[in-house]
Amino acid sequence: MASSGGEHHEEAEDSYGDAATIGALRQLYAGYAWADVASLGPESSGRAVRVRGAAQAVRAVGRRVAFLVLRQGTATVQCVVAGDGGGGMAMARFAAGLSRDRWWTSPAPCRCRGTPSAAPPSQQLVEIKVEKLHCVSRAVPALPIGVDDAARSEEDVARAKAAGEQVVHVGQDKRLDYRVIDLRTAANQAIFRVQCQVENVFRQVLLSEGFVGIHTPKLIGGSSEGGAAVFKLDYNGQAACLAQSPQLHKQMAVCGGFGRVFEVGPVFRAEDSDTHRHLCEFVGLDVEMALRDHYTEVCDVVDRLFVAMFDHLNDKCGKELEAIHRQYPFQPLKYLRTTLRMDYDEGIRMLQEAGVHVDAMGDLNTEAEKKLGDLVRDRYGTEFYMLCRYPSAVRPFYTMPCPEDPRYSCSFDVFVRGEEIISGAQRVHVPDLLAAQAAARGIDVASIATYVDAFRYGAPPHGGFGVGLERVVMLFCGLGNIRKTSLFPRDPRRLAP
């Protein structure tokens, strides 16, 4: 392991230096317990611990002292490397040299053995007095983007500029080009921890209600359920494409006897539109279930699921939401204990009364959806609601018409902060009706024969919904751009990293 230069005594080399392997440090730090930075508190005072993290900031004070901020995920701790430590002044110099980028050697994991002590009158609760310090991995001296720059809020940038200060603003594209650095900001650390919780609540609530988690194939023969742009590929000589949704296969799983199923998996759309809410690859949260009496049983699941999810995020992810809020300020989502449901007709009426021109049997455009969201929030005090019973004409051919009036359908959309997030419906499980509805929309029935035939071997009445994981997080946290909630986003232009 040993150090880089030849200037230290053996004793000093045991105290600091570059470590060639982590195994070599094992003996050197024997007897000192590993600690997580997040778990260090005033009660740790006096304990001898080992920690490892990225050197987030390094600052030398004269020749005898260096300060090192160590980061693990979202937690940081200040480490003091003083000339009176085991390695003497040389260790302080070694620490100061860890960062050649003057402010950040962000990803140079270091190992400290120190004594957490009650903190000096700063914000931090604990400070580590470093007795040994070894660097186990060095980054290039100058990172293409700085973590501190990437972590700056728009507000801070504006404030600094107003004060005539020079600050670096890292644009969205550059962040994504260097995503591995960008992900280290507190906001990004929080966003993807929140995302993980969203998925986990989704799964746990559904499992507790008797749903079975499944995995359907993403490689599909032909071209999905017809319609929109798909990614095509050659599959050992057969024409194939990437699934635009697990629609058919989740329905087949229900017909295959599983009754209630869910899936979490990638969904592929060869979108050409570069918007704030579309990706070419996203994570779909899908549900499909046999129905007893009515399609609103699917709405009941959505209601229980999302109220539980929002509650969980507010109750258990306070720290993460705060970290996101610091960089991207947002208002907490307003939602009711029982989710508001409105018929589509009533939504149309509200818009018309507010002077918005909308076609009662047509679809709502993004602007009208936004406006309706405002109206609903003002009247009912919620930013999360369901719009039910859409006109049949604006829904896919496999949507079940309302028995009492087939101009309307057993379908619904769910909105968060005025943006559509979930689309759901009862499906047509009767092959002849399915074929007729396809034909009425000008779809070549032969091209969807596989889909129609799947229901000839028996199908219970069923329905379901789909929602994008990235959209849930984006809209719950008011993030405004879906690229912020995709770990490595894929949009019409971006295929890397």
Among the listed ranges 250-258, 318-326, 336-344, 373-381, the one in contact with its own copies (CB under 8 A) is 250-258
User: Active-site residue 199, yes or no?
Assistant: no
What Cα–Cα distance (Å) separates residue 74 from each residue in 43, 155, 298, 321, 355? 20, 21, 38, 12, 48
Instruction: Select the residue interacting with its own copies from 253, 287, 324, 342 (CB under 8 A).
Output: 253
List all residues 6 or more positions away from 93 whose beta carbon is below 8 Å from its beta carbon. 60, 63, 66
Given candidates 2, 22, 307, 375, which one binds its own copies under the rule CB under 8 A?
A: 22
Select from 259, 332, 478, 480 the one that contacts its own copies (CB under 8 A). 259
Q: Which is nearer to its own copies, 37 or 90 (CB)?
A: 37
Strands 405-409, 411-416: pairing is unpaired
- Binding span for its own copies by CB under 8 A among 4-12, 231-239, 385-393, 436-444: 231-239
Stretch that binds its own copies, among 60-68, 268-276, 312-320, 378-386 (CB under 8 A): 268-276
User: Is residue 456 involved in binding its own copies (CB under 8 A)?
Assistant: yes
- Residue 8 or 269: the one with the smaller Cβ distance to its own copies is 269
Nearer to its own copies, 220 or 416 (CB): 220
Q: To the nearest whole angstrom, how small is the minimum distance from the Cβ of residue 242 to its own copies?
A: 8
379 part of the active site:
no
Task: Kindly name the residue from 50, 277, 312, 325 that is annotated as catalytic.
Answer: 277
Binding to its own copies (CB under 8 A) within 327-386 occurs at none
**266 is a site residue for its own copies (CB under 8 A):** yes
Closest by alpha carbon to 186, among 309, 74, 286, 303? 74
Encoding tokens for residue 270?
A: 């060869």
213: β partners: 262
Which residues does 372 contact at the CB level (< 8 Å), separation at least 6?
347, 350, 351, 364, 387, 415, 418
Helix, strand, coil share (%) of the chain residues, nearest 5: 35, 25, 40
**The one among 88, 461, 464, 468 contacting its own copies by CB under 8 A:** 461
Contact 376, 342 (CB under 8 A): yes
Helices (H), 279-405: 296-316, 318-327, 344-353, 366-380
423 in active site: yes
Q: How far is the CB of 219 from its own copies (least distance, A)?
A: 5
C-beta closer to its own copies: residue 330 or 488: 488
Closest to its own copies by CB, 22 or 340: 22
**Which is the catalytic residue, given 3, 224, 245, 423?**
423
Of 357, 375, 366, nearest in space to 413 by CA: 366
What DSSP assignment string belongs to 146-197?
-HHHHT--HHHHHHHHHTT-------HHHHHHTHHHHTTSHHHHHHHHHHHH
Q: Of residues 162-181, which lie at the interface with its own copies (CB under 8 A)?
A: 178-181
Rounded-to-integer distance, Cα 310 and Cα 462, Å: 26
CB of residue 282 to its own copies, shortest distance in Å: 9
Using rule CB under 8 A, residue 31 touches its own copies: no
Strand partners, 391: 408
Q: What's the CA gap between 198 and 24, in Å, rounded? A: 40
The answer to whether 147 and 56 have CB atoms below 8 angstroms apart is: yes
Give the interface segment with its own copies, choosing from 77-85, 256-264, 331-339, 357-365 (CB under 8 A): 256-264
If the CB atoms of residues 58 and 368 are measured against its own copies, the closer one turns out to be: 58
277: annotated active-site residue: yes
Positions 137 through 166 that interact with its own copies (CB under 8 A): 137-140, 143-144
CB of 128 to its own copies, least distance (A): 17
Strands 260-268 and 212-213 come out as parallel
Window contacting its own copies (CB under 8 A); options: 115-123, 160-168, 278-286, 388-396 = 278-286
Dist CA 157 CA 180 (whole Å): 22
Q: Which of residues 90-129 bind its own copies (CB under 8 A)?
A: 105-109
When binding is defined by CB under 8 A, the residue of 10, 26, 33, 337 that contacts its own copies is 26
Q: Which of 81, 99, 79 is nearest to 90 (CA)?
A: 81
Q: What angle do CA 284, 288, 293 make, to 5 degrees?
A: 145
Residues in contact with its own copies, shown as a per-residue x/- string from 286 to 325 under the rule CB under 8 A? ----xxxxx-------------------------------
Q: What is the DSSP letter of 141?
A: S
Question: Which residue among 215, 319, 334, 441 contacts its own copies (CB under 8 A)?
Answer: 215
The distance of closest approach from Cβ of residue 489 to its own copies in the complex, given in angstroms and rounded to an integer, is 8
- Closest distance to its own copies from the beta carbon of 389 (Å): 13
Identify whether 271 is a catalytic site residue. yes
Which tokens go with 38?
């997040």
DSSP for 35-68, written as a single string: --GGG--GGGTT--EEEEEEEEEEEEETTTEEEE
CB closer to its own copies, 96 vs 280: 280
Residue from 59, 73, 83, 377 touching its own copies (CB under 8 A): that is 73
